[in-house]
Amino acid sequence: MTQQLVKFIVNELNQPPFNLNLTNITFNALHPPQLLQLLSDVLCEIESKTRVDINDEPVDALALRLLTSLQIFKFKPETEDPNEFREGLIAGRPETINPILNWLLQRREDLKKRAYLSRYLVKIDIAPEMRSDSDVIDLYEQYEFLIEEFKQRHKQFDTSQAVNDTVSDLRKDLQSMEDDREVLIRRIERTQRKVEGVANYNQLLSMAKKLRAEKEKSREFQTQKDDQKSYLSHLEARRQRLTHQLMDMRQSKVNASGQSLIQRAEDAIRVNQYMINEKLTKETQQITASIALMEKVLAAPNPTPADLQIVVQKSDELRSQIAQLTEKRALQNDPIEDGMALYRQQSLIMSRKKEACAERLNHVIQEMTALEAQLQAKKQQLGENSDALLTGEQFKAYVSDLRVKSNVYKQRRAELNDLKAEYGILSRTLEILRAQEGALSDSLDRIETQQGVRGFRETRDLLERISDEKANTDEEKGRTLEEMSNLVRLLNSKINDKKVALAPLLRELRPLRQTYQETLPEYEAKKKEYDAQVQLIEDTISSIVNVKSGLENEIVTLEERCRQLEANLTKNEKYLQRATDEMKLYVSGVQQQQTERGKSVRDQLQHKIAEQEKLNAQLRQDQKQLRDNLPHMEQQIKYWEKIEKVFRVKMLCMEKNKLQEGTVRRERGRETLVLQ
């Protein structure tokens, strides 16, 4: 089913006005944003709007536009959860987008008309605070009046358009009948010219008429015979069904008594009374209470988070009170002292079992109803003969008949095997004869060539075939001539009937055309006036919305400024409190306050200043030592640089000695160069 759906969508999208040149593979490979863009393009084409790029459109605006269009078109999603459908639509899931595309493309022409009407019939929403303005009320009343007038004009236009379509269809039918009549007349004339020289023409024509009449009577008799056979089989099936029902009734009458029937009826009455008086009443009360609660919730204003918090707190309090009362009741009612506790428990268990049995009974009744509906559907599919059930005697007769048929099948199978063997022999004989025929044909060709009459046999066969075809053609002409005459008479009668039926419609059409021509300018003027009023209302609403948005932005800015000022005020209050505490500590100088609150900021800063002064003095002393030791340290650096130069010269000499292919030996503080 999914492949068929995708195939239909691809075929529709490959046709004008889309012309996307898609295949099933490329369509299935589309990403979710591409599917969303495709859905948006289809909706824009149906609504006769310009294409919208979803990348330049916010997600909320896109969702609102798509859902509004689908709501106007009255699309019903397969899922019952609207949030799930909205998430699937915005996410561009194929399992959500593909059914929408299939539904839209199947009803594209009807939806175009609905989209056109929705431009003028979908009323504009006005905010409640603006309904108190008298100018807005007057404009809205005029707007509603124009909508009603548009409805009437559109109905008149549809009526006149339907009449025009009917007349045009009738004219087309008449024209096609006239063309067929002329074609048949020309064929009859051509056939008459061909059969003018045939001998016994009138006698053959009368015989053909009689033959055709007899064939028609034979067909009618055969139809009546088939009807009688079907009616007879229907009566036989009905007789068998009634016989089976009679046997069932007799069997139930033998096994049943009056007391058992009364007991069964009383049990059924008790069950139905319980279902009506207790179960259905309780379910009705629950449904009524839930409906009343929903109506109360719908009638109440939209709750704020604070209201919801209060409701949650009240609910928690009520739950805690219920738990406390339950515990208190359990402590007060001792099951040992209370003699009725056991009976209460048993009564509760029995009532629950009773409710469970009623639920099972209701479920079984529903299943039985569904199965009966399925049985009736199967019977309708299989026909009336499906009602006839086989009895024991009928089954025995069926088995014996089946055995006879099995024996006949075995005989036919043996005959078939014999025929297959004979067919093999005949096939081989045919091959041999064909080979002999080829040899004989070659010898005849040589003989004809020798006698100078080559191709004599082919010419003779060709003349015989032409003669047979001419005889068949003449016979067919004699059969079809009368049929053409009858067909011409029938077409003439139909054309006259259509003309008679069309005459009152044409008379009714003339005043309707005049009315249409008279009302068309008025309709166009009213439509222009309606468009102007709609444009005026939309401009007014847009200006009010702009002012409202400006005020809302200003309110947001002021609220942000207020929050900043409150934060600065809080920060300044903290600084002021801290400065006040410092002043109190500094003025009072009480040691107890310092121990309780810690050291003051002044003491902390003085302590840090003292530490920094100590660190400064230490650094100055280190600087002085460095200045005193600077000449000695510079002399040491020079000594180390000289030592480094000496070592570098030694390293260089060692490298040169190695290049002279000598070996340096170092023993007890001396080096010896051994040349090779």
* Residues forming beta bridges with residue 672, ordered by sequence position: 665
* pLDDT of 244: 79
If we measure between CA atoms, which residue out of 124, 130, 125 comes closest to residue 544? Answer: 130
pLDDT of residue 592: 42
Q: How far is CA 227 from CA 207, 243, 342, 601, in A?
A: 30, 24, 74, 118
pLDDT band at residue 478 under the 50/70/90 scheme: low
The string of pLDDT tens digits covering residues 412-464 is 887 888 788 777 777 777 777 777 777 777 777 777 777 766 666 677 777 77
User: Which residues neighbour 544 within 8 Å (Cβ) at sequence distance 6 or greater?
Assistant: 130
Residue type, 549: S
- DSSP assignment string, 558-597: HHHHHHHHHHHHHHHHHHHHHHHHHHHHHHH--HHHHHHH
Per-residue pLDDT, averaged over 290-315, amounts to 75
Task: Inform me whether the pLDDT recorded for 80 exceeds 60.
Answer: yes
Judge whether residue 386 has pLDDT over 70.
Answer: no
Q: What is the pLDDT of residue 395?
A: 65
Tell me 411's DSSP state. H
Each residue's pLDDT tens digit, 330-383: 566 554 445 565 666 677 777 777 777 777 877 888 888 888 888 777 777 765
237-246, 262-271, 330-339, 366-375: least confident range? 330-339
Residue 90: which residues within 8 A CB-CB, separation 6 or more? 36, 59, 62, 63
Per-residue b or e along 335-362, where b marks 16 or more CB atoms closer than 10 Å to that residue's CB: eeeeeeeeeeeeeeeeeeeeeeebeeee
Question: How high is the pLDDT of residue 436?
Answer: 77
Q: What is the pLDDT of residue 200?
A: 73
* 303 upstream amide cis, omega within 30 of 0: no
Cα distance from N-terminal residue to C-terminal residue, the chain: 98
In sequence order, the 6+-apart residues with CB closer than 8 A to the CB of 108 are: 12, 46
pLDDT of residue 487: 67
Nearest to 191 by CA among 475, 570, 568, 613: 475
Q: Do residues 388 and 237 lie in contact, with contact meaning Cβ atoms separated by under 8 Å?
A: yes
- pLDDT class of 527 with cuts at 50, 70, 90: confident
Beta bridge partners of 2: none
Q: Which range (11-20, 39-48, 75-84, 330-339) has the least confidence?
A: 330-339
Distance CA 30, CA 187 (A): 58
Region 117-122 average pLDDT: 78
The mean pLDDT value for 494-500 works out to 76
Round to whole Å and give the CA distance between 317 and 306.
17
Mean pLDDT across 204-210? 78
- State the Cα–Cα distance between residues 181 and 7, nearest whole angstrom: 43
Instruction: Indicate the range of 315-319, 386-390, 448-452 predicted with least confidence.
Output: 386-390
Q: Assess whether pLDDT exceeds 50 at residue 638.
A: yes
463 compared with 96, residue with greater pLDDT: 96
Both structure tokens of 302: 């939209």
Question: What crossing angle do the helices spanning 82-91 and 59-72 adopt, rounded to 10°?
Answer: 120
Whether the pLDDT of residue 477 is over 70: the answer is no
Q: Token digits for 127?
A: 């905010």
Instruction: Provide the pLDDT for residue 595.
Output: 41
**Token pair belonging to 232:** 């007879």
- The answer to whether the CB of 197 falls within 8 A of the CB of 508 is no
Say how far residue 623 (Cα) sits from the centre of its chain.
Answer: 87
Task: Specify burial of residue 205 (Cβ count, 10 A radius: 0-12, 13-18, 19+).
Answer: middle
Q: Can you spell out the DSSP letters for 427-475?
A: HHHHHHHHHHHHHHHHHHHHHHHHHT-TTHHHHHHHHHHHHHHHHHHHH
pLDDT-based confidence at 593, cuts 50/70/90?
Answer: very low
Question: Residue 100's closest CA among 45, 49, 36?
Answer: 36
Model confidence at 594: pLDDT above 50: no
pLDDT band at 270 (very low <50, low <70, confident <90, very high): confident
How many CB atoms sit inside 10 A of residue 52's CB?
16
Q: Are 654 and 664 in contact (CB under 8 A)?
A: yes
Is the whole-model pTM more than 0.85? Answer: no
Q: Which among 87-96, 130-139, 142-151, 227-236 has the top mean pLDDT?
A: 87-96
Mapped onto helix, strand or coil, the DSSP state of residue 326 is: helix
Q: How many residues are present in the chain?
A: 676
Least confident span in 2-11, 53-62, 590-599:
590-599
The DSSP symbol for 122 reads S
Instruction: Report in angstroms the alpha-carbon separations of 558 from 544, 550, 562.
Output: 21, 12, 6
The residue-averaged pLDDT of 525-534 equals 83
pLDDT, residue 10, reads 87
Q: Judge contact between 10 and 66, C-beta under 8 A.
A: no
Mean pLDDT of the chain: 77
Give me the residues paired with residue 674 across strands. 663
Residue range 29-52: mean pLDDT, rounded: 87
The whole-number pLDDT of residue 325 equals 80
Please answer whether residues 35 and 90 qualify as being in contact, where contact means their C-beta atoms are separated by less than 8 angstroms.
Answer: no
By mean pLDDT, which of 34-38, 322-326, 530-534 is the weakest? 322-326
